[in-house]
Structure formats: C-alpha cells, structure tokens
Amino acid sequence: MAPYTTIRTPRLDIAYLEWNPAGARTAVLLHGWPDSPESWHTVAQRLAAEGYRVLCPALRGFGATRFLDPATPRSGELAALGRDLLDFIAALGLARPLLVGHDWGARAASNACGLQPDVAAQLVLLSIGYGTNDPSQTLALEQARNYWYHWFMATPRGADTVRDDAQAFTRYMWDTWSPAGWYTEAEFAQAAHAFDNPDWAAVVLHSYRHRWGFVAGDPAYADDNARLTPAPQLAVPTLVLHGGADTCNLPATSEGRAHYFTGGFERRVLDGVGHFPQREAPQAVADAILKFCATWPAAR
C-alpha cells in the first residue's frame, strides 16, 4: 500500500491514501468508527482499476491527521466532519468527486452535501440512515439497546475506558456488530493503529456526547449545525448500502428515507453482511457503486 500523503486545510493536516493519481474521475472514500482509511483497500483498488483516482483521508482524530492549533477544540461533532471534507476537497482542487462514506464517513459525506449542494456528483452511504442526527429522534428499543456504547461514553467510566483501553473497547464493537469470524488479527491491528492519534479519545467522546445534546459544540460550527438541523434534502444522486446483519445500526434505520433525496435514490440491503460492508463484502460494495454511478452519471 502506498504511504500516506498530507494536505493542509484551515484547521487540519489531513493524511490520506491515494490510488491511481491520474484517474479521469475522483472518488473520496471516508472511513467510519472505529476504523481507518485502510478499510477501503479492496474497494479502492477496484475503483482505481475502473479509472478512478481514489483518495481515502483519515478523519480528524484518526491516524496521522493532526490539528494545526493546540487551542482548537477537539470536537467530533458531525457538522465538523462535513466541513473537514469540504476543506479537503477544496485544498486538493477536486471537481465534484464521487463521495463514499461508511458510518462516521457517511455522515461526513452527507453533511458536506448538505452544506454545499453542488460538491459531489454522486453520494454513497454505508451502514447509516440519513436524517438520524437529531438528539430528540425517536428510537426503537432494540436500536436504543444497540447504542449502549453511546450512553456508556457519556459516563466517567466510559470516558476512562475510551482513554485507557481503546483497543479492547473497539474490538468489542468489531466482535459484536457483524457475524463472527469476519476479520483477521492483522486487519484489526492495522485499524487500531489509527486510534493511537493523541486526539482520538477527545474527538470520539465529544462526538457521541454532542450527538445527544450532552455537551456543547464548537462555536465555529454553529452556522453549519443550524443548516444541518433538521437534515436538509439532498439533490445529489444517492445510494444507500446496508448490511442485513448489521447489529449496530439496524437495517430498519435506513428505511423510508427516499423523501430526503431529490436527485435520485437507491437502497440495497446486503444479506449476511454486518456493519462493515466494505471490509466484509468489498467486491459487492464495489459492484454496487460502479453500477449506481453508471446509472446516475452526474448530479442534476
């Protein structure tokens, strides 16, 4: 795998992996939590072979991405992730790339499109339901049970676990969010290396606490948060891929969302796949992305 490259944005030095720099089109693939850019390796290779320039950045708090100013709040709020993506696209001078995101990365990609409607040609969201960021949203009891780790991180005990035992904590997610036996020790170790970032715990804790209104956001994102709440309709053609065996975000959480998408919408459930489709079924994910982009060649 190629080494990381770094690009400077207004708030961050963002580290990213790249395939096929001379590709005619660009795809930006954004990882989720708890994961790393390497999660896209197989999908990225496939898209690169089909002519895409593929970029996989490390989100704030992950890997070699670093804040420029020690005084910047280590916010993990979802609006910040969307703004970081817009800054990344602007810094590299990308023209309407394909945006593909998993989990946190999906929220970053959809929020970027909400903040700048013409930023992407197509949007692909893995393992989440759009419009689910409202702290007052209704949750089915089964989904509330699945979100135990959100509430745990709002407690002092949970915060200590995130800070002091990140690998055990995140491994438990990998072990319980997908059918057994889906990853190797080497794959987890590679992903967990991204959690060694000195800001990882602070960003993670703030993200989940802010999501439910337990802590204030960074005032720098107040306007962005206002624009994203309630979730705006998106005009970019959008594909949602959800694992049928996802026990983090139940497949039902992405049902009934077509009204949010005015530029074209498709949703596919991947049978037997858990919360990490790009790792568990990378060829199926790549096939779905390529087919969707051929069907919806550009945002209208």
Report which of 36, 6, 31 is spatially closest to residue 18, judged by C-alpha positions: 6
The length of the chain, given as a count of residues: 300
Q: CA 182, CA 175: separation in Å to the nearest integer?
A: 9
Q: What's the pLDDT tens digit per position in 266-284?
A: 999 999 999 999 999 999 9
Counting Cα atoms < 13 Å in the Cβ hemisphere of 206 gives 19
Q: What is the DSSP string of 61-123?
A: TSTT-EES-TTS-----HHHHHHHHHHHHHHHT--S-EEEEETHHHHHHHHHHHHSTTS-SEE
- pLDDT tens series, the chain, 300 aa: 568 999 999 999 999 999 999 999 999 999 999 999 999 999 999 999 999 999 999 999 999 999 999 999 999 999 999 999 999 999 999 999 999 999 999 999 999 999 999 999 999 999 999 987 777 788 899 999 999 999 999 999 999 999 999 999 999 999 999 999 999 999 999 999 999 999 999 999 999 999 999 999 999 999 999 999 999 999 999 999 999 999 999 999 999 999 999 999 999 999 999 999 999 999 999 999 999 999 987 644
Looking at domain 5-295, which CATH architecture does it have? Answer: 3-Layer(aba) Sandwich (3.40)
What is the enclosing helix (H) or strand (E) of 150? helix 148-153
